[in-house]
Chain A
Amino acid sequence: MLRIELSVRDQDKYLPHIIFAIIIAILPHLGRLPLWIIIWCAAMWGYLLFSLRFQWPRPNRAVLILFSVFGIFGLLITYGMRIGPNAYLGLLSIMAALKPFEISTHRDRMISLFLAYFIVITSLFQSESLFITIYMFLSVFVTTGALILINDTTATFKSGLRLSGIIMAQAIPLMAVLFILFPRIQGSIFGLSGMPDATTGFSERLSPGNISRLVKNNDIVFRAEFEKNIPGANHLYWRGIVFHEFDGRSWHRSNRIPGIRYFPTGQSPVTYTIALEPHGKRWLFTLDRPASTPKWSRMYMDYTLRHLRPVNRKKYYCITSYLQPYKGRLWDIAPAQQLPAKGNPKSRKLAGDLAGNADSVEQLINQTIFYLKTNGFVYTLEPPLLNRNPIDDFLFRSKKGYCEHYASAFAFLMRAAGVPARIVGGYLGGEVNPFGNYLIVRQSDAHVWVEVWSEVSGWMRVDPTYAVAPKRITGGTSETLTKEFSGSLFVKWFKQLRFGWDAVSTSWEAWFSGYSYLEQRALIERLGIRMKSLKGLLTVFSLICGTIFLTVGLYVFFQLRAPATKKDRVQICYEKFCKKLKKIGHPRLSNQGPVDFAGYIAQKRPDLKPDVYEIIRLYVQLRYQKSHDTSMVKHFCKQVKAFNPW
């Protein structure tokens, strides 16, 4: 009876460690798991830990099976047929919560920990950011510590963690080799990619309130690193989507825009790399006006770029834009003239009046801007609701609005006056990170503006918001909207910290995620190996194997050579002393004891006798006598250091 009890206690001894490792592994996923799974895990593990403490009964096999069925049922309800990484993760979590209940043998413990490793790996589905990478190291560290603990009965949790740290440090060179040389798969791991929340960002429809919702969102949309200087604020119009169709209330993107045939040209080219965060849509952001297309994307006649697939992973692309474009080639401007037959009569009348007074498109634009400037329009993030004729309502009643109101009204007026116009959605400006000298563009930088067609100069960018809130263009949203909230030292310091971290993690991500199949091939081909030929593949393969064998071989060699016990300071100093004497031609024989050696030296070099005798006396005292203190060790080492046989 006693034996059984002991064995039960023994088998539960490691449960807390295993659960701890799994919790550490699962922690970064908390945000992605539905609440019920989190509660499920907490309840299971909580019960288990309490049952250890208070000897509560454990559920038997039938109950566990029932639980699993419930769990899978719950998953089906939550995820339905949307089998993706989140569903996988949910399944893993549910099973990881149940697995510790049936731990009774060593094998079960091993499986549970391997489960933890598997969960660690799934972190990569979510992100490859620096933070996650560091966290994964921590997680592997803890899990390996637990693995050592359950396999080495003499280990304590602390010693297990220490060994785990050593193992990880030893694995780093191997990891680097595999990272650089292991053949890369084109595409994402297992064909799975994170499905980001597609609730933020632009949609294909622009209606009042769309943008102001974005402005409150501080998420990063992309980072842009320029080859040379960052252009002035008035050029930082990041073009994303063009709205051509107006239905009387909201604007839509047109599906009938053909692909571009001739890339735009102009003056002031700038080249820059954009690291676009996944947004689940297809458009790519570029500075006005892009002149090239990155891989896997296509440019349309309205100078927008669209990716071939929705951007579900971080996307890096390099692009060149002309800040001062020449007049583009004419394309059917009909979509930019379309207006609904009815609605907004007052605005139509106003457009007619303005057009009557203007001789040219430029004049019309100026008059319209002037109109917006002088009639008491207010720039606000919380405009009142508009009625069925939103343009009329805005222009003649509320006079309060955000960039989309102004752009929308302006484009309507232009079209009503017979001038082709369209609305461009994107981002304006961005925050310069002083540490990396790149721009961070956030959702709060969202902006829309208008492009107007004139026979003389082609498509011109007009920003009607500028007429009302010039600061919005020159200073960014936050300056216009918040009254410069106190620049206390702490805020400054925090800002600096945020910029610094952003710079580090951005370059990490660019390096880590950016090292893809192509980069690898380029690197290997630079070494003179052609990846495409069979011979090249074999060379790479043997290179990898060779490196691994060499590493392991060297490690084993040094392990076998290294003395079994670590030398202490006295031994090191004594060896130094012997080395000094060896240099003057009197080496210590391996079987010579210290006193004999001293006698030998005294005989060969009588001049050294006092020094040598003193050192040997100290050495013998330290090594062979009963007690000594650390000050003596210091004294001994000092003597050896001072000893000069030359």
Chain B
Amino acid sequence: MSSKIIELKDVNKWFGEFQVLKDISLTVNQKEKIVICGPSGSGKSTLIRCINRLEEHQEGTIIVDDTEISADTKNIEAIRAEVGMVFQQFNLFPHLSILDNCTLAPIWVKKMPKKQAEELAMQNLKRVQIDDQAFKFPGQLSGGQQQRAAIARALCMEPKIMLFDEPTSALDPEMIKEVLDVMVDLAKGGMTMIVVTHEMGFAKEVADNMIFMDEGRIVEKAKTKEFFDNPKSERTKLFLSQIL
């Protein structure tokens, strides 16, 4: 237990002149669930996007599953295949059926036989409870269903880590719960998860640790109970008082 899977050390990142990440250091253990919150523009999304290098950091080291991620990383695809990501806008492939969305990467990246990939996809679609929608196209599904399909698609790569970038922010209120239920189920199954979200109820239920970010810095990192009951920094207190 508690072996490191992600390690960030003094990570700095700039968008032009603007510094989005300032001296970020963070360690994530296997099976740990971390929820990152903070005001918009605080760098939370950028942080998790650096972990699978959808964004490049300029300073510091990021180590994912014993491989350092940098411009020299030869096989960034192999790392990405181990790190599932769920986006705010779902980003399903609209030209493919839900089933094909799920089997595309296993077949072409992991070279899995088609039949096996389809079985795996149906298994995961069942897990997120949309196996009856497998042959529809993304455009025919509701937002909540699309996001669950996106989670299933990521799961089909059998990732070691799952990153969630505000997965419920683009959803209608009544659909948020169905997505959160799937995520809770996933957390209970022992997945390592980093979740950027404003759903504090979800955070209280599943998170081991909470991170509060503001202006590119990690302002506070604490055990979940401590974070909500007894936040240390004034900025965190202010944020929590507004959001709860």
User: Are A and B associated in one complex?
Assistant: no
Chain B positions within 8 Å of A, measured between CB atoms, are none
Chain A positions within 8 Å of B, measured between CB atoms, are none
